[in-house]
Structure 1
Amino acid sequence: MQLGYVYKLKPNSQQEATMMQWLDMLMAQYNYLLRDRNDSYEQVRSPKMGNYCDLRSHGQACPLTCSVSKSSSLGYPWKKSQKNPRRSPYEIQSSTLPILKKQRPWYKKIHSTVLQQMLRQLDVAFSKFFKGEARYPKPKRRSRYRSFKYAPGQVKLDNNRIYLPGIGWMGFYNSRPIPDGFAIKSVTVRKKSRGWFVSIQIEDKSVPLPPVKTVNEIRPNHVKGCDLGIRKLVSTSDGQTIANPANTNKFKCQARRLKLRQRAASRKKKGSNNRKKSFGRVASLHEKLANKRSAYHWEVAKQLTDGTDALVFEDLNIKGMKSRCKPKPNESGGYDRNGQSAKRGLNRVIADAAWGELVRKVEVVAAKSGIPVIKVNPRHTSQECPKCHYISADNRDGEKFVCTECGYHDDADLNGGVNIRNRGLKQLGIDPIQLPSERGKVTPMEITT
């Protein structure tokens, strides 16, 4: 079993300056190695005249040292006695670290495993790109490169003190003791607006995760279909609704305070210390809101998994839902209104709800209990009648659902949860159960009036 704990560090001024210096050097080397891969990629895609290795003169005309391909060669091709093995891009760039420390001695201050983990970070970014899980890696800015990582077995803990190689011992707020039997797997040091934090991943192989429940162990009446929304964060098929904290007065006041702080910071003189302090206060409030949202999501995840055999969610394309509207060119050469200004508010509330983060937290909590989390196609879940399965856009009227075919009516979000649950049961190979009550049965007269 693997767990992750986060603690706040208490570094002194010298240790804080060292960590900031490490981040700057790591960011510079990350961008340099990224450019090295980009140049290699362009060289393979469209070779240019003169960029080649001259085997006769033993001169290297091509400045590239790495390739983005999955299998590439390392070594000097003009040395006949040397074998030219196939190695990964990580191994190719990792072999240049000793040369880096000779040419730039100040990189010797950084622990060797921290440099190697930086290379791993770049390698993972390219792996996700080739798998289609992320875009092509871009250079890091100082505001976006805020962490470095140690390899397993390098960091030590002693009560409320932690030893970081190359930095030394420092105190931390031991708010959550590590359970007995768990070993430290990896350690990540991260700079945030409220200070420095350390994320510790621990593991105990003797504590296995509970097995995921099989289809025979799943009871149909204990399967929850969860419809994600904005006014109501989650609406389940059993009639329960979970409020969205973004709609509370407290959250709205904090959002208003954030807007005022952003406005005040933008008026400060560029490059001044006051501007830096103002944006620091903005970042602090952003982090505070994110922490409150995360804590609320963990509570929701615990509530959804209690007494449940399976959870069903919609497989939403959240990124596509927040994409910009397509421009509408007109005959005069300009553009007509496409509704993007009105859609900004919808994009903002979708981001505040953080559906993706909620589902990921639910998956983590459900895995500890062996509860499967199923994702189904979201098409027409809010327009389909669970009684007669008639699909029409006229069935949905705001937060009300009234079937124009059979007269069934219900709350639109709860009805969506029922449809999501039924689709999840079909995906598991279980016949959808009947609705538990007759609350949705109305007469045609009530529909027309």
Structure 2
Amino acid sequence: MFVYEYKVNPKPQQINAINEAIRTSQFVRNKVLRYWMDNRGVGKTEMFRYNTLLRKEFKFVEELNSHACQTAVERVLKAVNRFYDNCKKQISGKKGYPKYKKNARSVEYKVSGWKLSENRKHITFTDKKGIGTLRLVGSRDLNFYQIEQMKRVRIVRRADGYYVQFSVQLDPRDTVKPLIPSQKAVGIDVGIKYFLAESCGNIEPSPQFYRQGEKHLSLLNRLKSKKYQKGKPQSQNYHKARVRYARKHLRVSRQREEFCKRVALRLIKSNDLIAYEDLNVKGMVKNRHLAKSITDAGWSTFRRWLDYFGYKYGKITIAVSPHNTSQNCSSCGEKVQKSLSTRTHVCSHCNYMEDRDVNAAINILQKGLSTVGQTESYKLGEFDPLASLEQSCGVTVGL
């Protein structure tokens, strides 16, 4: 699926209609979730039947498109299934029990409830909420795709306004030409001091967008807190301050996202194989001393874009175990204990000296190459390298 996003500038009455549609979708989701909690064991069919009863009971629910109500039920099903899967896998910590939505920010339609204009520059929502026609502001041309390919349409509310997203059924590999093989492989080690270090010695500095904007964020947060009145309806000045604070956070997150996207695309286009650490970021952020720096680095976002671009351009991305990648010597393989504050790897066995992160990146590349060394041969069942060696040498190979 491809997601194309467009900015829209609705009028005040349209803003009220969009907010009402979002609240209705949230209401349906919470009511269906309450139904599941009171009747544990009910399945998909019972949830959709309950959604039908809600449409008959509440007029404002009936005014929302039926497919938009169904997507709210699907979100409940997704949360319930994820909870059950986590319980079956016996993951540590909380299992993600479904919770009520308090501040929903989107409403999603399927193939009905909306209509595009002939030039694909305007969209009209045809349900009874009264949203009407919105002009799509963006550079992507929807004329390249058929209406049948657009499976979902979502209205999203953010701090800087409203957006309309189109989910287009399209394979990313069909949108690009195959790249010429670069005949290069690289291992990357993500970090806090540097964003990442490559096995070839290149260092990508960490931009630290949150750290740079932290002072301004603290100022905006203080101004927002000063205008807050406990136990009373909040003034317009408070809401303006809240929006300014939220927009600054949105800017920081967008800067981080674009940086991770740019670095991931550069690595994919310049290498045929990329090996990286399979880090447990969710567990690492529990360290209160490093949580802010890890979150600011955006490791999970970077990995998501790296895997996406690898699939899109037909490149190999391998996640390897991070065990001892920073401690082992990439030259002789001996383990050299060092603390996190030690930034230079010096091997006492072979006198090899290298930057700590570059040494780790070389180890990661070695692990990645060993992982894919004979994968295809084993898969096809053409030969067993160990069995062939035993037959030719007349010895038994031990592991």
TM-score bracket for this pair, using the shorter chain length = 0.7 to 0.9
Please identify which structure carries the higher helix content: 2
User: Where does residue 20 of structure 1 map in the other structure?
Assistant: 19
Distance 1:364 1:152, change over 3 A: farther
How far does residue 430 in structure 1 lie from its aligned partner after superposition? 6.0
Pairing 1:285–2:248 present: yes
Contact 1:382–1:396, Cα closer than 8 Å, also in 2: no
Where do residues 155-194 of structure 1 align in structure 2 (5 Å cutoff)?
Answer: 155-158=114-117, 159-166=120-127, 167-178=131-142, 180-181=144-145, 183-194=149-160
User: Where does residue 69 of structure 2 map in the other structure?
Assistant: 115
Write the distance in 1 (CA, Å) between the matches of 2:189 and 2:178. Answer: 23
Q: Secondary structure at the match of 2:102?
A: coil
**TM-score using structure 1 length:** 0.74
Write the distance in 1 (CA, Å) between the matches of 2:102 and 2:324. Answer: 42
Paired residue for 1:136, among 97, 102, 113?
97
Paired residue for 1:403, among 342, 347, 351?
347
Amino acid at match of 2:168: I
Write the distance in 2 (CA, Å) between the matches of 1:155 and 1:228. Answer: 44
User: Where does residue 8 of structure 1 map in the other structure?
Assistant: 7
Pairing 1:355–2:309 present: no
Where do residues 180-219 of structure 1 align in structure 2 (5 Å cutoff)?
Answer: 180-181=144-145, 183-204=149-170, 208=174
How far does residue 179 in structure 1 lie from its aligned partner after superposition? 6.0
Paired residue for 1:228, among 190, 196, 204?
190
Write the distance in 2 (CA, Å) between the matches of 1:302 and 1:350. Answer: 21
User: Where does residue 443 of structure 1 map in the other structure?
Assistant: none
Distance 1:109 1:94, change over 3 A: same
Paired residue for 2:285, among 319, 322, 325?
322
Distance 1:301 1:240, change over 3 A: same
Contact 2:159–2:247, Cα closer than 8 Å, also in 1: yes
State percent identity of aligned pairs. Answer: 26
Paired residue for 1:412, among 356, 362, 376?
356
Write the distance in 2 (CA, Å) between the matches of 1:187 and 1:103. Answer: 26
Provide, for residues 280-309 of structure 1, a one-character-per-residue CA deviation record: whole Å limited to 9, x for no partner.
111010111111111111111111112311
Q: Which structure 1 segments of 5+ residues have no match?
A: 42-66, 69-88, 325-339, 432-449
Contact 1:403–1:409, Cα closer than 8 Å, also in 2: yes
Contact 1:7–1:173, Cα closer than 8 Å, also in 2: yes
Amino acid at match of 1:371: K
Contact 1:212–1:372, Cα closer than 8 Å, also in 2: no
Write the distance in 2 (CA, Å) between the matches of 1:29 and 1:310. Answer: 46
Paired residue for 2:224, among 244, 248, 265?
265
Q: Secondary structure at the match of 1:201?
A: strand
Aligned residues: 357
Contact 1:302–1:362, Cα closer than 8 Å, also in 2: yes
Write the distance in 2 (CA, Å) between the matches of 1:4 and 1:106. Answer: 29
Computed over aligned residues only, the root mean square deviation of the Cα atoms, in angstroms, reads: 2.7
User: Where does residue 276 of structure 1 map in the other structure?
Assistant: 239
User: Where does residue 260 of structure 2 map in the other structure?
Assistant: 297
Farther-moved stretch of structure 1 (160-169 vs 194-203): 160-169
Q: Secondary structure at the match of 1:404?
A: coil
Q: Secondary structure at the match of 1:96?
A: helix
Q: Secondary structure at the match of 1:245?
A: coil
Provide, for residues 118-162 of structure 1, a one-character-per-residue CA deviation record: whole Å limited to 9, x for no partner.
1111111112222228611111112xx111111135533333211
Contact 1:186–1:202, Cα closer than 8 Å, also in 2: yes
User: Where does residue 63 of structure 1 map in the other structure?
Assistant: none
Q: Secondary structure at the match of 1:394?
A: coil
Contact 1:226–1:313, Cα closer than 8 Å, also in 2: yes
User: Where does residue 336 of structure 1 map in the other structure?
Assistant: none
Q: Which structure 2 segments of 5+ residues have no match?
A: 376-399
Contact 2:68–2:110, Cα closer than 8 Å, also in 1: yes
How far does residue 11 in structure 1 lie from its aligned partner after superposition? 1.3
Q: Secondary structure at the match of 1:393?
A: coil
Contact 2:28–2:51, Cα closer than 8 Å, also in 1: no
Q: Secondary structure at the match of 2:200?
A: coil
Write the distance in 1 (CA, Å) between the matches of 2:340 and 2:83. Answer: 39
Contact 1:210–1:367, Cα closer than 8 Å, also in 2: no
Q: Secondary structure at the match of 2:333?
A: coil
Write the distance in 2 (CA, Å) between the matches of 1:207 and 1:313. Answer: 22
